[in-house]
Amino acid sequence: MLALSGVHAHYGSAHVLHGVDLEVQSGQIACLVGRNGAGKSTTLKAIMGIVPLSDGSVTFRGERIDGRATHVIAARGLAWVPEDRRVFGSLSVAENIRVAAQATRRSNAGHARLALEFFPALLERSRHPAAHLSGGQQQMLAIARALASNPDLIMLDEPTEGLAPSMVNSIRAGILESRARGVSVLLVEQNFRLALSVGDVFFVLSRGTVVFRGTRDELQAAPEIISEHLGIGRAKELSQWHE
Ligand SMILES: Nc1ncnc2c1ncn2[C@@H]1O[C@H](COP(=O)(O)OP(=O)(O)O)[C@@H](O)[C@H]1O
Ligand SMILES: [Mg+2]
C-alpha cells in the first residue's frame, strides 16, 4: 500500500535520510522505531511531502506521490498525526472533527460521526473546547481528526509520548481499532513495549537508514541489533516481552 524506496532527504546541508526503504501492506500496523534523531519524524514528513526528497521514491496505492503537494497526498487517503498534535483549541471537539471531515471529498458527515464516536472520552466531551482537553484527550482528538478524513493509512508520530498509562491504553486500543476498521497504520513509537504489542511488522531506523525489518519473532531473534541501534534497555524489554 505504501512503499519508500531509496529515500534521501536533507535539511539544508544536513543529510538526514540516507536511502530509506520501507513498506506498509494493506491491513497492517507497521512500527518505525529508532533512537532520538534517527530520522523517524523526517521519514513521515517526507512521505507527506513536507520535506522534499533529494532522491528515491514514495509510492502509495500504486502511484508515485513524491513531489506532490501535501493536500494532494492527503486527498489520496494518507493521514498524518504529527508529534505536536495541532488541534484547534478554540473549536469544540465535534467542530475539530467536522472541519477535518470537510477538508477532503473522501469524507462526509458520516465519517465525522464515526470519528467522534471512535474514542468514548471524546464523545462525552463533544461540545468542550479542544483547549480544555487533557494531553491524552487531545491526542485522541488528533487521531479522530485524522480518521475523519476517511484515510486508507494513518501515520502516528509518537502518539503516547508523555501520556499517563490509562491514556496509553486508550490510544493503543484506538490503534488496534483502526486496523480492525481496515485503516492501515504506520506507527512511530518510543514506547517499545506498546509497539511490540500492536505491530505486525517492524522497521528499525538508525542514522537515516533502515537497519532491520521483520516480524516480532524475527526481532526477538536479533537482540544484538536491538541493543546496538535502540539500546540495551530495549533489548531487555524485548527478551522479556510476552503477549
Ligand atoms: N527542521 C529541521 N531543521 C534541521 N534539522 C532538523 C530539522 N528537523 C530535524 N532535524 C534533524 O534531523 C535529524 C532527524 O530528526 P527527526 O526526523 O526529528 O528524528 P526522530 O523523529 O527520529 O527523533 C536530527 O538530527 C534532527 O536534529
Ligand atoms: Mg520524531
| Residue 25 reports pLDDT greater than 80 | yes
Q: Is 42 touching ligand 1 by the criterion CB < 6 Å?
A: yes
CA–CA gap between residue 183 and residue 155 (Å, rounded): 10
Give the cell for residue 209. Answer: 537508514
Structural domain contains residue 81: no
Atom of ligand 1 nearest to the CA of 36: 23
Structural domain contains residue 75: no
| Residue 54 reports pLDDT greater than 90 | yes
Q: Report residue 239's pLDDT band, with 50, 70 and 90 as the boundaries.
A: confident
The pLDDT assigned to 20 comes to 98
Q: Is 11 touching ligand 1 by the criterion CB < 6 Å?
A: yes
Q: Is 230 touching ligand 1 by the criterion CB < 6 Å?
A: no
Structural domain contains residue 93: no
Give the pLDDT mean for 95-111. Answer: 93
Structural domain contains residue 35: yes
**Average pLDDT value over all residues in the chain:** 95
Atom 24 (ligand 1): residue with closest C-alpha?
Answer: 37
Q: Is 34 touching ligand 1 by the criterion CB < 6 Å?
A: yes
Percent of the chain with pLDDT over 70: 100
Specify whether the CB–CB gap between 185 and 30 falls below 8 A: yes
Structural domain contains residue 97: no
Structural domain contains residue 229: yes
Q: Report residue 233's pLDDT band, with 50, 70 and 90 as the boundaries.
A: confident
| Residue 50 reports pLDDT greater than 90 | yes
Based on C-alpha coordinates, what's the Rg of the chain? 17
Name 23's bridge partners: 3
CATH classification at residue 233? 3.40.50.300
Atom of ligand 1 nearest to the CA of 43: 17
Q: Is 84 touching ligand 1 by the criterion CB < 6 Å?
A: no
The pLDDT assigned to 237 comes to 86
Task: Among the bound ligands, name the one nearest to the CA of residue 42.
Answer: 1
The residue segments making up the domain with residue 7 are 1-69+184-243
Question: From the CA of 31, how far away is ligand 2's center (Å)?
Answer: 13
Q: Is 39 touching ligand 1 by the criterion CB < 6 Å?
A: yes
Structural domain contains residue 192: yes
The pLDDT assigned to 138 comes to 96
| Residue 240 reports pLDDT greater than 90 | no
Name 213's bridge partners: 203
Element (H, E) at 40: helix 40-47
Q: Which of 18, 42, 192 to mutate to test the pocket of ligand 1 (most atoms within 8 A of CB)?
A: 42
Model pTM score: 0.96
Structural domain contains residue 1: yes
pLDDT tens string 189-225 = 989 999 999 999 999 999 999 999 999 999 989 889 9
pLDDT tens string 142-164 = 999 999 999 999 999 999 999 99
Structurally, how many domains does the chain consist of?
Answer: 1
The pLDDT assigned to 133 comes to 95
